[in-house]
Structure formats: structure tokens, C-alpha cells
Structure 1
Amino acid sequence: MNIPEDSRFRREMATAYRSGWHFIDLVTALPHGGDSLMVTLFGEPIIITRGEDEDIRAYRCLRKPRGAPQPVRCAIRYGMIFVNLDQRDHQLVEPETITATPRSA
């Protein structure tokens, strides 16, 4: 049995868990425009904010000097806030099933 190197194993686990949608909190945690909360997800600081337009958005805080916050995909489902750090994954819910059209006789 091969035991993976610790750093390699951590990197592979982070890649596996980071791709996907992750529950952050309930929408009620940000009741008013201008409210925000900061969470750490896989070692990355993420700011979730409710704008004055009432939309909820998420941003990755860059550690570089003078780095602008990078937008993170954020979705609201059933009163819950979800974020996805993997930019390749675009689906939160199952894609709609294609219904077959009846054939003419």
C-alpha cells in the first residue's frame, strides 16, 4: 500500500472538496443592505455582503498588497447562501431533464 506524501495528499483533497457548492449561512445572517460577514473556506478568506440593491455577493480576499477582491460565484437557494470557489463548475442544481417529444404515427 502506497501512502501519499502529506503535501500531495492535502493538495488533492483541497482540489476535490473545493470544486462544488458550499453552504455558508442563512440569508437572514445579512438582513440589511450593507451588512457583511467574513468566512474562511479552505484557508481562503471570503467576504459575503448584501448590497444596497439587496443582492448578496461573495468576494475572495486576495492577500497580495493592494489586491482588489475577486468575485466568487454565489447562489441563494431555499434561503441559504452557497459559494463555489471553482471557476470551472457552473451548476448548482441538476440540469433540467430533456423530455422526449411524442412521435407522429
Structure 2
Amino acid sequence: MSIPEDTTFRREMASAYRSGWHFIDLVTALPGPGDSLMVTLFGEPILVVRDDEDDDVRAFRCLRKPRGAPQPVRCAIRYGMIFVNLDQRDHELIEPEAVPATPRSA
């Protein structure tokens, strides 16, 4: 078995792990409206910002092409943590639901 080239290995790992939700930071990293942070996820620069108007947290993929507009990335906040999903397929980040108690039979 041959060892894959470094670039081939990184490309395969990125494609394998890029789908799904990835932890970015705690919500407290963006305390006020207009705050932002830049992270690199699988070699792609991601800008995470807290919106001025509605105080929502949004994420954008920063394209490296000239005149490329930032592309929205799926972003979710769960348990006080920011998660992003680079894959555009429909993966949901689901909070566990409380299981209703079943009445006992006497």
C-alpha cells in the first residue's frame, strides 16, 4: 500500500469530514451587535458575524475569487455554541427532545 500525497490526503479528508455540523466557538465570542470572527475550516476562510439589526449570528464563506461576494453558510446556535455546516445538503442540527412520560397501567 502506498502512502498518498499530502495534497491528495488533505483533499480526501476534507471531503470526508466537511459534511455535517462543526463547532466554531462559544456565542460569548460575539458579545455585541456587529462583532465578528474569522476562522479557517478545512482550508476555507469563514466569517461569523452577529447581525446589528436582529442580533442573529450568521456565517459566510469568503470566496477567494476577485469580486466574489461572501457566500452564506448554514449556521446554528445550540447550547450556547456556534456551529456551521459547509455542506449545502439538508443536514439538520437537532436538539434532543424531551420524551413524554407514558402513563403507567395499574
Shorter-chain TM range is 0.7 to 0.9
Q: Deviations over 1:65-103 (max 9, x none)?
A: 11100000000000000001011142112797xxxxxxx
Residue 82 of structure 1: aligned partner: 83
* CA 94–34 in structure 1, closer or farther in 2 if over 3 Å, else same: closer
Q: Quick one: percent identity of the two aligned structures?
A: 83
TM-score (norm 2): 0.81
- SS where residue 12 of structure 1 aligns? helix
Question: Which TM-score applies when normalising by structure 1?
Answer: 0.82
- Greater CA deviation, 73-82 or 83-92? 83-92
Would the aligned equivalents of 2:78 and 2:95 in 1 still touch at CA under 8 Å? no
1:34 positional shift? 0.5
| Residues 10 and 89 (structure 1), Cα distance of their counterparts in 2 relative to 1, 3 Å cut | farther
Q: CA deviation at 1:63?
A: 0.4
The letter of the residue matching 1:71 is P
Q: CA deviation at 1:17?
A: 1.1
| Number of aligned residue pairs | 96
Aligned residues: CA RMSD: 1.9
Partner in structure 1 of residue 20 of structure 2: 20
4+ residue segments displaced more than 4 Å: none
Gaps of 5+ in 2: 98-106
